[in-house]
Amino acid sequence: MKKHDNLIAGQWVSHGNYQENRNPSDISDVIGLYSYGDAAAVDDAVAAAREALPAWAAATPQARHDVLEKTGRTLAERAEEIGRLLSREEGKTLAEGIGETMRAAQVFKFFAGEALRQAGELTPSVRPEIDVEITREPVGVVGLITPWNFPIAIPAWKTAPALAYGNCVVLKPADLTPGCAHVIAEILQESGCPDGVFNLVMGRGSTVGEAIVTHPGVDAVSFTGSAATGQHIAETCGRLRKKVQLEMGGKNPMVVLDDADLPTAVSGCLNGTFFSTGQRCTASSRLIVTEGIHDAFVEELAKQMLALKVGDALDPATQIGPVVDGKQLQSNLDYVELARQEAHEVIGGERLSLGKQGFYQAPALFLGTSNDMRINREEIFGPCGSIIKASGYEEALAVANDTEFGLSAGICTTSLKAARDFRRRAEAGMVMVNLPTAGVDYHVPFGGRKASSFGPREQGRYAAEFYTTVKTSYVFAG
Ligand SMILES: NC(=O)C1=CN([C@@H]2O[C@H](COP(=O)(O)OP(=O)(O)OC[C@H]3O[C@@H](n4cnc5c(N)ncnc54)[C@H](OP(=O)(O)O)[C@@H]3O)[C@@H](O)[C@H]2O)C=CC1
Ligand SMILES: O=C(O)CCC(=O)C(=O)O
């Protein structure tokens, strides 16, 4: 069985403690052994990053561009093979795994371009004979802590801007999915990334993650994961005065109005609620449907949901892969049990065996629910959606906004007036019209409001807000 080590100062370093990475489609399939680091490994990684920082921060835009462009190109060339690894370790379908790898490739290429496009501002002072120059500098050493549900795209969309803007990185991927992050480390190294600029330390959040967040040599932390862990990291970073960026959960509403095109609404909700096994922070978990279309919509969505093929992620016929692990599956099943008490009716949601040792669950639809129920307030993170009936647009909008989260919000309608109003009044960082709430572009800002996000936006040019710090210089030319 192949052993995978951590990358520190350009060397592959074993910290012993090899942990098995198993395939959630069939846990008898061991993907590899991954060496889990500890606080001492984080010390070494941070020291390497700090040593590499002055040269990388001063590197030419061309040098940074070339590393990122080659990394993106290699990811794209190897998308099939890496997508397969992704599907084996996370459980996404092969098409989704390859698609996510391509997205990571595009992210690296986008930020290769951004490395060349950095600019400042020159402006006259309010005083005579003085010029004012505004420039951006790297933040320093950045700690990146990533979740299991997008095991290559999220490490990519944190690492690529960090490096493009001249920072050095220590990345800790999720315990369940170290393989894709290891591939990014391998490719960055093959692409000429200088020693110490990018460091990988695999391991548990409670040890490696905590050590990164509390390390005095780490200047900023970017995290994606649960709201509880995010809150803890924000409190620690606040105390230590570190820059912090958090992407956390969602309880995303999709409003379906009477005038919606039924096939568009059903296919958008099917995708947004159940694809990627519902394991997306942007998943549509609350489907808010107005009275006139309610029955036809529910009938068609339930029919299409029941026809979805759940199975091994690598089987080309599979539409819904397994849940990521036994703990997440049990949590989903507990929510289905809760829905049996709270909702009027539950369709699907049962555990499936499929003759394999995998974590399979049938997609679930909860009918006749209200927005105050726990199933509609807490993030489930599984293939489950609730139907909430609304009397009309205004009530649907109020229900959509009545949540502690604010990541993505969608509406299906043929009314330009309603779509326009929803775009303005939805309390979310991203709004979708006649599109699923999940599935975003790689070149524009990503993030939300309220409990979903904290700090500057990720992705696109807006990523510069987090990964740089602004300097204002005054020059007296008299
Ligand atoms: N918004 C999103 O995209 C995601 C949301 N979630 C939500 O979170 C729930 C639980 O999933 P889970 O994976 O446990 O999420 P976590 O928030 O625990 O994990 C996310 C990342 O943070 C790390 N971590 C955990 N504790 C700490 C800590 N104290 N300090 C620093 N880093 C830490 C984890 O490490 P480790 O390797 O030990 O897990 C992982 O790398 C899901 O059911 C879902 O609701 C989960 C994933 C993504
Ligand atoms: O919906 C998407 O495309 C991205 C979702 C995401 O980033 C997440 O679930 O963490």
Over the stretch 199-223, which tens digit does the pLDDT of each residue have? 999 999 999 999 999 999 999 999 9
pLDDT tens across 305-328, in order?
999 999 999 999 999 999 999 999
Query: How many percent of the chain have pLDDT more than 90?
Result: 99
Does 304 score more than 90 pLDDT? yes
Asked whether residue 214 falls in the same domain as residue 158, the answer is yes
What pLDDT score was predicted for residue 355?
83
Q: Are the beta carbons of 176 and 325 closer than 8 angstroms?
A: yes
Q: Which helix (H) or strand (E) holds 101?
A: helix 94-116
Taking alpha carbons only, the member of 272, 249, 318 closest to residue 87 is 318
Kindly state whether residue 443 falls inside one of the protein's structural domains: no
pLDDT tens across 405-427, in order?
999 999 999 999 999 999 999 99
Q: Are the beta carbons of 412 and 257 closer than 8 angstroms?
A: yes
Kindly state whether residue 119 falls inside one of the protein's structural domains: yes
Asked whether residue 21 falls in the same domain as residue 108, the answer is yes
Candidates 150, 229, 276, 405: which one to mutate for ligand 2, based on the most atoms within 8 Å of Cβ? Answer: 150
Kindly state whether residue 345 falls inside one of the protein's structural domains: yes
Asked whether residue 358 falls in the same domain as residue 468, the answer is no
pLDDT tens across 327-352, in order?
999 999 999 999 999 999 999 999 99
**Rounded mean pLDDT of 134-146?**
98
Q: What's the rounded Cα separation, in Å, for the pair 400 and 267? A: 20
Containing structural domain, residue 297: 252-433
Asked whether residue 181 falls in the same domain as residue 310, the answer is no
pLDDT tens across 184-194, in order?
999 999 999 99
Query: How many percent of the chain have pLDDT more than 70?
Result: 100
Is this structure's pTM higher than 0.95?
yes
What pLDDT score was predicted for residue 478?
79
Strand partners, 474: 132
Does 102 score more than 90 pLDDT? yes
- Number of domains composing the chain: 2
ipTM of model: 0.97
Pocket of ligand 2 (CB under 6 A): 149-150, 224, 280-282, 438-440
Candidates 100, 172, 226: which one to mutate for ligand 1, based on the most atoms within 8 Å of Cβ? Answer: 226
CA of 205 to the centre of ligand 1 (A): 8
Does 356 score more than 90 pLDDT? no
**Rounded mean pLDDT of 128-142?**
97
Annotated active-site positions, please? Answer: 247
Asked whether residue 164 falls in the same domain as residue 181, the answer is yes
Kindly state whether residue 446 falls inside one of the protein's structural domains: no
Chain centre distance of CA 17: 27
Q: What is the DSSP letter of 110?
A: H
* CATH number of the CATH domain containing 167: 3.40.605.10
Could you tell me the strand order of the sheet in which 3-4 lies?
Answer: 3-4, 26-35, 18-23
Asked whether residue 256 falls in the same domain as residue 346, the answer is yes
Kindly state whether residue 441 falls inside one of the protein's structural domains: no
Kindly state whether residue 52 falls inside one of the protein's structural domains: yes
pLDDT tens across 457-478, in order?
999 999 999 999 999 999 998 7
Kindly state whether residue 440 falls inside one of the protein's structural domains: no
Asked whether residue 122 falls in the same domain as residue 82, the answer is yes
* CATH number of the CATH domain containing 409: 3.40.309.10
Question: 51: alpha, beta or left, given left = phi > 0 and alpha = psi -120 to 50?
Answer: alpha
Asked whether residue 212 falls in the same domain as residue 257, the answer is no
Pocket of ligand 1 (CB under 6 A): 145-149, 172, 174-175, 204-206, 209-210, 213, 224-226, 229, 232-233, 247-249, 281, 328, 379, 381
Chain centre distance of CA 56: 27
Asked whether residue 218 falls in the same domain as residue 324, the answer is no
Q: Are the beta carbons of 161 and 464 closer than 8 angstroms?
A: yes
Kindly state whether residue 84 falls inside one of the protein's structural domains: yes
